[in-house]
């Protein structure tokens, strides 16, 4: 991928500028072809979407505290595929419960929460004793080193203070104006506070997911929320778009996905697929007159339980890492 495209992703300060950078990437891609004429078949799904209940993400009362819970969960949300130790070949293994990576993650977080090992506002810093206890829970979990860094960031008192101020500034406006706004600036601000958790991925998928889920949570609480971000592009929405003919992959890239092997998250094909999904979903949002984040939820919640999709879709992108 051209270096300037990566830099455009990293330094985009609006959802529109990131969309434009993704469009440039997609246009030059030998791995992904975009068929915007197929978007019309998805408009009905987008327009009928409802805001999901995400209270399962929240452990602590209070809107700002709930936002912190959601951000921490989002930071951990990924790294479901991995290689067996001391092997270079073979299909990727999956961290899962009942076939679900996210179910495995939430079950793991629940066990940590029962022992008081999940960070929250006002909690003590990460002591040596807490580190040892958390390390016991990290044993055998994929990408333990990366997850340990996430714990370090979310237990950090300065980071907690900065996140609280960010959320209170936004929610404080809601108290007087009866609405609140999230933008790509919010995504970037969260990534700046927790760089190991959110900033390494140039698409900032997990920071986008945080804002998306916070939007859902606050909307269900009765806030009037305006959110202008791109979708949290990982593997699910791209493969849904491919299944519906919106995105067409090269033969070589299809073979790589079907091989069951881990792909590097920075490889061109993976990056192009994710960029194309961002473009297609923003275009679908415009066609449907709904925000990008609701398009994401419409497609995800519709097709994850669709039998035809389950049987006929390409396998997910299995990446070597915890970006998604």
What pLDDT was estimated at residue 84? Answer: 77
The residue that leads in pLDDT, 48 or 8, is 48
* pLDDT at residue 177 in the model: 53
Per-residue model confidence (pLDDT) at position 6: 72
- pLDDT attached to residue 187: 97
Phi, psi dihedral angles at 50 (to 5 degrees): -120, 160
Q: Which pLDDT belongs to residue 7? A: 77
pLDDT confidence tier of residue 225, bands split at 50, 70 and 90: very high
**Token reading at 191:** 């990534």
SS3 68: helix
* pLDDT classification of 173: cutoffs 50, 70, 90: low
| Whole-angstrom distance, CA of residue 252 vs CA of residue 238 | 17
Q: Residue 59 — φ and ψ, nearest 5°?
A: -115, -20
Structural domain tally of the chain? 1
Q: Is the pLDDT of residue 174 over 60?
A: no
Contact call for residues 129 and 176 (beta carbons, < 8 A): no
CB 18 within 8 A of CB 10: no
Check: CB of residue 298 under 8 Å from CB of residue 292: no
Dihedral of alpha carbons 11, 235, 216, 47, sign: positive
Q: How far apart are CA 182 and CA 167, in angstroms?
A: 10
Q: Cβ(232)–Cβ(210) under 8 Å? A: no
Contacts of 271 (CB under 8 A, 6+ apart): 1, 25, 202, 265
Determine the structural domain holding residue 299 and report its residue range: 3-52+229-312
What pTM does this model have? 0.93
**H/E segment holding residue 82:** strand 81-82
Distances (CA, A) of 79 to 94, 105, 231: 9, 10, 19
| Cα(233)–Cα(317) distance, integer angstroms | 11
pLDDT of residue 324: 93
Q: What pLDDT sits at residue 125?
A: 86
Q: How far is CA 85 from CA 88, 140, 141, 156, 259, in A?
A: 9, 10, 12, 31, 19
Q: Is residue 211 part of a domain?
A: no
The residues pairing with 181 across neighbouring beta strands, listed in sequence order, are 226
Task: Please state, as a whole number, how many other Cβ atoms lie within 10 Å of the Cβ of residue 43.
Answer: 16
Contact 32, 278 (CB under 8 A): no
Q: For 36-46, how does the pLDDT look when each residue is reduced to its tens digit (9 = 90+)?
A: 999 999 999 99
CA quadruple 193, 199, 203, 204: dihedral sign: negative
Question: Rounded mean pLDDT of the chain?
Answer: 92
Q: What is the tens place of the pLDDT at every residue in 212-221?
A: 999 999 999 9
Asked, for residue 24, whether it belongs to a domain, the answer is yes
- Whether residue 43 lies inside any domain: the answer is yes
97-135: per-residue pLDDT in tens?
988 899 999 999 999 999 999 999 888 888 999 999 999
296 falls within a domain: yes
């Amino acid at each position: 991928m051209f270096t300037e495209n990566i830099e455009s992703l990293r330094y985009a300060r609006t959802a529109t500028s990131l969309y434009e950078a993704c469009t440039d990437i997609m246009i030059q891609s030998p791995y992904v072809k975009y068929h915007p004429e197929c978007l019309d078949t998805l408009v009905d799904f987008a327009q009928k979407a409802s805001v999901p209940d995400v209270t399962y993400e929240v452990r602590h009362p209070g809107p700002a505290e709930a936002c912190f819970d959601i951000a921490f969960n989002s930071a951990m949300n990924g790294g479901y595929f991995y290689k067996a130790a001391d092997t270079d070949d073979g299909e990727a293994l999956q961290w899962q419960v009942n076939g679900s990576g996210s179910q495995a993650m939430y079950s793991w977080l629940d066990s940590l929460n029962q022992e008081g090992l999940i960070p929250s506002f006002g909690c003590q810093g990460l002591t040596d004793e807490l580190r040892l206890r958390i390390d016991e829970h990290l044993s055998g979990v994929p990408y333990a080193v990366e997850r340990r860094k996430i714990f370090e960031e979310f237990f950090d008192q300065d980071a907690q203070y900065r996140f609280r101020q960010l959320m209170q500034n936004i929610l404080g406006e809601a108290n007087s104006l009866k609405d609140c706004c999230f933008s790509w600036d919010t995504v970037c601000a969260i990534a700046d506070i927790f760089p190991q958790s959110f900033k390494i991925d140039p698409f900032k998928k997990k920071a986008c997911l945080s804002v998306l889920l916070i939007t859902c949570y606050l909307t269900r609480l009765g806030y009037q929320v305006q959110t202008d971000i791109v979708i949290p592009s990982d593997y699910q929405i791209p493969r849904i778009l491919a299944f519906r003919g919106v995105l067409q992959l090269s033969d070589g890239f299809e073979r790589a996905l079907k091989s069951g092997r881990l792909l590097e998250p920075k490889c061109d094909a993976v990056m192009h697929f994710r960029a194309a999904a961002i473009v297609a979903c923003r275009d679908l949002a415009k066609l449907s007159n709904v925000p990008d984040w609701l398009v994401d939820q419409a497609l995800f919640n519709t097709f994850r339980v669709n039998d035809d999709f389950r049987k006929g879709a390409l396998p997910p992108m299995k990446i070597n890492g915890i970006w998604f």
